[in-house]
Structure 1
Amino acid sequence: MRKSEDTLNEEMLPAERRQHLIDWFKQNQAGSGQDLARMLGISVSTIRRDLDVLAGEGLVRRTHGGAVAIRSRSSYEPSTDLSQRTAVEEKLAIVREALTLIEPGQSLLIDTGAVICHRLADEIAKIEFPLTVITNDLYVAKQLTYRDNITLIVPGGACRVGSFSLLGEPGLGFLKNIHCDIFFTSATAIDENGTSETNLELGHMKRAMAAAAREVVLIADSSRFMSCALHRTVPINSIDLIITDAGLLEEDRAKFPPHKPRFKTIDRTQVAVPDADDIGPNTPS
């Protein structure tokens, strides 16, 4: 009697399975245990053991329910295409929680250079009450153009090659003379000291935006945490609230200061899609 495909895969040599995982993590930032087990046709318990071995060798970092790739180079920056395919549901859940902070008449700064901020712009475009939005991101600006209720301000700058980011002057000079209600930001890397980026000019822009806001809200999926890129940007004590998903391990969360920033952890399975009328400060979280 012929063995099933699942049985054959379970009998694959452990070293062979782990090499498949190593190759997969070279192309992908994060994966859940269930998805990886399904991909290899093995049990979740087997994939957990394999991920534990790879984590022990320093090749991945274990998260709640899966693992993320460890990038040893501080200059590593995931491509826009990879970012768009990583933690899709988690990003959407984080964005929907961020929407509950927005009130009519507020002025918002929206970060540049992050896919999750693009998803935030997609959702803000559905809001009907009046807002002022300032951004140096061409994608964000495009999504909010022709919205009668949104006053859109794009300070300008030179476009970074391969991205939607406008960096340098006149944007930096403009930001020194404004004061907004909320700055929604993300980052290439986040640890207990703050955020960091691979690009120096991008770091300058993010610091200027943070200084121009009453409240700084960091929105990022858990794969961005506990790593550090080349250029420090916003220090941890300048961030008021971090919204992330449940993949951030409690032992890593405990490394952050106890009182500031505050943390809001989102379980993607518990997040309902809000109606436009529900967006605002009274939306239950």
Structure 2
Amino acid sequence: MSDNQNLLAEQRRALILDEVRRRGGVRVNELTRRLNVSDMTVRRDLDALTRQGLVEKVHGGAVPVAEPSTHEPGFEAKSTLEPGAKEDIARAAAAMAAPGSAIALSGGTTTYTLAQHLLEVPDLTVVTNSVRVADVFHAAQPPGPSGAARPGAATVVLTGGVRTPSDALVGPVADRAIASLHFDVLFLGVHGISVEAGLSTPNLAEAETNRRLMRSARRVVVVADHTKWGTVGLSSFATLDEVDTLVTDAGLSSRTRADMAEHVPGLLVAGPDGPVDEPGAGV
């Protein structure tokens, strides 16, 4: 098979995978019509995606691989996923933090990457329930000779709470601390995002803490790479209409971007060459 044919197969399978995640399942006859290929070609593509563990074949089609809605990967496991996309998203999101403003960062590997870019923004007050995020600022901004904070260093407020596998602090202690605060922008990482389920997490306590974070923010910015699309955790904590801006990466298909733009006022697609505002979705 030529390189050109290989590329076409990869493109086809990417389209099939996006359709499975977006709709929750597809039928072979639908794919043959949409892709204008034979039944045998579609079945080979589904076999390849099944071997990669990306879909599950069923009679007449395929569905997403079933994962328990309570499954919560640890921080280290998640940090190895989509590092390039997270870097692009973090760079674009950091531009939304104004010097001297009060911001909040939830737990997650994307917000952890974002924290490293926010080190360049002076005089921030950072509220976070992420131990990892707090460590980023602590390690990068040692005190001056007299023990006082260096000029321009961020003031970091770390909530208390019970630690989750992703190193977020959640529960009543965190909720009470957040409820008494107010910040200009919340940068929110998510486990899953979809039109039907909105924003979701496998952790019930984290769902409530995320709700509190959103209530305390004047503006909510979700930072999520394309693999979060179609994932649904145990507990939904917000609808897409409650999000002001979604910052994602170029891996999100154009069809999914259109779906998102119907619900989220601001859709920013980050890439190596800089972010792109989607038409009709101002930030």
TM over 0.5: yes
Q: Give 1:134's match in structure 2, choosing from 97, 119, 127.
A: 127
Q: Work out the CA distance in 2 between the residues paired with 1:78 and 1:57.
A: 22
SS at match of 2:255: helix
- Is 1:175 the equivalent of 2:178? yes
Structure 1 Cα separation of the partners of residues 120 and 45 of structure 2 = 40
Aligned residue identity for 1:141: A
SS of corresponding position for 2:251: coil
Deviation string 1:81-132 (CA, Å, 9 cap, x unpaired) is 33212111111000000011111111000001x11111111222233x1110
**Aligned CA distance change for structure 1 residues 266 and 242 (closer, same or farther; 3 Å):** same
The 8 Å contact of residues 156 and 166 in structure 1, kept in 2 or not, is answered as yes
Name the % identity.
23
Which deviations, in whole Å up to 9, do the C-alpha atoms of 1:141-188 show, x marking residues without a partner?
11112463311111211223x442111132211222222100001111
**SS class of match (1:172):** helix
Q: Does the 8 Å contact 1:51/1:60 carry over to 2?
A: no
1:118 maps onto 2:112 in alignment = yes
| Equivalent position SS for 1:251 | helix
Equivalent position amino acid for 1:168 in 2: G
Instruction: Give the aligned partner of residue 41 of structure 1.
Output: none
* Structural mapping, 1:57-72, within 5 Å: 60=54, 70-72=65-67
Count of residue pairs the alignment pairs up: 220
Work out whether 1:143 is the aligned partner of 2:146. no
Match of residue 75 from structure 1: 70
Cα contact 1:183–1:209 (8 A) shared by 2 = yes
Letter in 1 for 2:188: T
> Stretches of 4+ moved more than 6 A in 1?
none
Q: Which runs of 5+ in 2 are unaligned?
A: 6-41, 56-63, 143-149, 276-282
Choose which of 70, 85, 93 in structure 1 pairs with 2:80.
85
Q: Which residue does the alignment assign to 1:37?
A: none
What is the identity, as a one-letter code, of the residue corresponding to 1:258? Answer: E
In 1: Cα distance, 2:188 partner to 2:45 partner: 31
Instruction: Determine if contact 1:110/1:183 at 8 Å carries over to the other structure.
Output: yes
Whether contact under 8 Å (2:222, 2:246) holds in the other structure is yes
- Assess if the C-alpha contact under 8 Å between 1:186 and 1:218 holds in 2: yes
Name the structure 2 match of 1:278: none
- Counterpart contact for 2:240–2:263, Cα < 8 Å: no
After superposition, residues 107-256 of structure 1 pair within 5 angstroms as 107-112=102-107, 114-127=108-121, 129-145=122-138, 146=141, 148=150, 149=152, 150-160=154-164, 162-193=165-196, 194-256=198-260
Go from structure 1 to structure 2 and tell me whether the alpha carbon gap of 1:163 and 1:256 turns closer, same or farther (over 3 Å shift).
closer
In the TM superposition, what whole-angstrom CA distance separates every residue of 1:190-237 from its partner, at most 9, and x where no partner exists? 001421000001111111101100000000110011221110012211
Unpaired runs of at least 5, structure 1: 1-5, 11-47, 62-68, 273-284
Using CA pairs under 8 Å that are at least 6 residues apart, name the structure with larger relative contact order, 1 or 2. Answer: 1
Q: Residue 76 of structure 1: CA displacement? A: 3.0
Given the superposition, is the C-alpha separation of residues 262 and 70 from structure 1 closer, same or farther in structure 2, using an over 3 Å criterion? Answer: farther
Matching residue's letter, 1:135: T
Q: Give me the CA root mean square deviation.
A: 3.1
C-alpha distance in structure 2 between counterparts of 1:82 and 1:115, whole Å: 10
| Structure 1: distance between partners of 2:51 and 2:259 | 22
Instruction: Between 166-175 and 48-57, report the one with greater CA deviation.
Output: 48-57
- Once the two structures are TM-superposed, the CA of residue 73 in structure 1 deviates from its matched residue by 2.7
Check if 1:265 corresponds to 2:259: no
CA positional deviation for 1:55: 5.2
Q: Distance between the aligned counterparts of 2:49 and 2:255, measured in 1?
A: 15
Question: CA distance change for structure 1 residues 251 and 55 in 2, over 3 Å: closer, same or farther?
Answer: farther
Distance in 1, Cα, partners of 2:221 & 2:232:
19
Mapped to 1, the partners of 2:217 and 2:211 lie a distance apart of 10
Shift in alpha-carbon separation, 1:244–1:228, aligned structure 2, 3 A: same
